[in-house]
């Protein structure tokens, strides 16, 4: 293999303090650190901001400190939730001034700033809502195709808005693009599929490809989290559209579409 992989022991980061994080990084002395750990339930973060602050701000800062000490290239995972509350339409560029409307987005934005202040060569990747299908014996949380399949089975009504726009990412495409991302110059990058369709049409498209019927009740909330991929494309990294990535996912799972 191209890499020897090492990871923090399972669940270790839930309770680790700064010293434990630094000790582990110094012991392993990696060339590259990919920091994916987060407390990403936006509702929980809203209710428990102290937990969110530790997991989503302090922990990335500790990892950045470790990366700085061993001279490792750091890829730190951020989120499209930094764009929560943006009122402009269309794809959103990294240069937009932001003041996220939820605690999770606020903490992710603060983590970007702290990580880059400590490690200017670090790469902060703003990730979209992601999915995969079962089949790899890995735990999979609620995601768009699974929510649609579940609703088709149970008759549950799904709620989406015609004024809600966001990219939805295929996790395996994100993982494949981590390799070229290691060569990116330090900074913040939108890192996922774009989407020019609203979430009602997006959900209907996924249902159509999955060959199931779902009942969608139209909600009316307004949101735009669609990320502009141009900065990334200038460095040679291109993501498929939300729709194209889902077709690829089904092909990868051997489903004829």
CA distance 39 to 44: 8
Q: Mean pLDDT over residues 10-34, rounded?
A: 94
What is the per-residue pLDDT for 257?
A: 66
Q: How far is CA 34 from CA 7, 125, 137, 152, 159, in A?
A: 10, 10, 22, 36, 34
Q: What is the pLDDT of residues 142-161, one digit of tens each?
A: 799 999 999 999 999 999 99
CB 171 within 8 A of CB 130: yes
Q: What is the pTM of this model?
A: 0.96
With 0-12 / 13-18 / 19 or more C-beta atoms within 10 angstroms meaning exposed / middle / buried, residue 212 is middle
Q: Mean pLDDT over residues 217-238, rounded?
A: 97
Beta strands, E only, the chain: 32-35, 73-79, 123-127, 129-131, 157-161, 164-165, 168-170, 187-190, 215-219, 223-224
pLDDT value at 136 more than 70: no
CA distance 159 to 110: 31
pLDDT value at 1 more than 80: no
| Structure tokens that stand for 50 in this block | 């102290």
Q: What is the pLDDT of residues 159-202, one digit of tens each?
A: 999 999 999 999 999 999 999 999 999 999 999 999 999 999 99
What is the per-residue pLDDT for 145?
A: 96
Please state the φ and ψ torsions of residue 17, each to the nearest 5 degrees: -100, 180
């Amino acid at each position: 293999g191209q890499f020897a992989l090492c990871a923090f022991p399972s669940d270790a980061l839930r309770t680790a303090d700064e010293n434990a994080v630094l000790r582990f990084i110094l012991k392993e002395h990696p060339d590259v650190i990919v920091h994916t750990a987060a407390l990403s339930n936006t509702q929980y973060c809203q209710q428990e901001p102290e937990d969110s602050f530790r997991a989503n701000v302090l922990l990335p800062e500790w990892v950045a400190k470790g990366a700085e000490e061993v001279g490792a290239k750091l890829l730190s995972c951020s989120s499209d939730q930094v764009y929560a509350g943006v009122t402009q339409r269309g794809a959103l560029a990294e240069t937009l001034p932001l003041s996220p409307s939820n605690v999770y987005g606020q903490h992710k934005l603060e983590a970007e700033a702290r990580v880059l202040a400590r490690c200017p060569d670090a790469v902060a990747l703003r990730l979209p809502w992601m999915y995969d299908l079962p089949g790899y014996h890995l735990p999979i949380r609620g995601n768009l195709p699974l929510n649609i399949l579940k609703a088709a089975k149970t008759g549950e009504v799904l709620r989406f808005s015609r004024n809600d726009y966001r990219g939805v990412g295929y996790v395996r495409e994100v993982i494949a693009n981590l390799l070229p991302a290691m060569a990116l110059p330090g900074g913040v990058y939108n890192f996922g599929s774009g989407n020019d369709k609203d979430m009602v049409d997006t959900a209907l498209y996924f249902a159509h490809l999955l060959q199931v019927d779902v009942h969608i009740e139209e909600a009316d909330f307004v949101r735009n989290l669609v990320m502009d991929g141009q900065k990334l494309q200038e460095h040679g990294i291109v993501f498929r559209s939300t729709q194209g990535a889902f077709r690829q996912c089904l092909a990868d799972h051997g489903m004829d579409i």
